[in-house]
Amino acid sequence: MLVTAGPTFEKIDPVRFIGNFSTGKMGFAIAEAFAELGAKVTLVCGPVSLQTELKNITRIDVISADEMFHACLQYYDTSDICVMAAAVADYKPVHQELQKIKKSENTMTLELEKTQDILYYLGKNKKPGQILAGFALETINGIEFASEKLSKKNLDLIILNTLEDEGAGFQYDTNKINIIDKFGNIFIYKLKSKKEVAQDILKSIALQI
């Protein structure tokens, strides 16, 4: 299987980047839950400070959304199950400056362009029998926005995190999720440790097989 985890960093100049607060804990917990059952897992991760000891996890470290996309392409065709848990940057600077940008005016503007939506690409190129799961991080209208992403990205299931829930999302060891599947079923879970949440995700994926 293929799992992504962590943030991506999009370089502005040699010392600065655009990033986000993802720690990679949820993606690592998912990779470990499957690996403990014997799955051969490729874990593509952005810049994180986590380690994993499990032998059947092959870790591929990347920095940017472009690098994550190319790493995923390399392993997608041979993966039966894919869970995209990374918080991929949606935009990257149009130009990466070769030298450090010097401070000048009181305000500055960076021109950004969209990154490749990895999950969208994988959904468009999904083969019969492959199971593709994504995440949706929302602050309002969680079920509605996540359901839209599920169909737009051709997913089998989507795991919704709502930052409105205390203890859920980035930087916590806990998470509170809802899972929506392609049949429109909605599964609501309590706040749990990310390890336990990974088990819930694993069980819902098993139900799709």
Single out the catalytic residue among 20, 56, 106, 178: 20
Please count the residues of this chain forming the interface with ligand CTP, following the rule CB under 6 A.
Answer: 15
Cβ contact 175:197 at 8 Å: yes
135 binds ligand CTP (CB under 6 A): yes
- Bridging pattern class, strands 41-45 and 91-93: unpaired
Verify binding: residue 117, ligand CTP, rule CB under 6 A.
yes
131 part of the interface to ligand CTP, by CB under 6 A: no
Q: Which residues contact 203 (CB under 8 A, 6 or more apart)?
A: none
Alpha carbon distance 5, 7 (integer Å): 7
**Choice from 137, 150, 197, 198 touching ligand CTP (CB under 6 A):** 137
Q: Does 44 bind ligand CTP (CB under 6 A)?
A: no
Can 125 be counted among the known catalytic residues?
Answer: no
90 touching ligand CTP, by CB under 6 A = yes
DSSP code per residue over 88-128: --SEEES---SSPPPP-SS-----EEEPP-HHHHHHHTPPT
CB of 138 to ligand CTP, least distance (A): 7
Contact with ligand CTP (CB under 6 A): which of 35, 71, 118, 198? 118
Are 135 and 162 in contact by the 8 Å Cβ rule? The answer is no
Provide the annotated active-site residues: 20
List contacts with ligand CTP (CB under 6 A): 4, 65, 84, 86, 88, 90, 115, 117-119, 134-137, 149
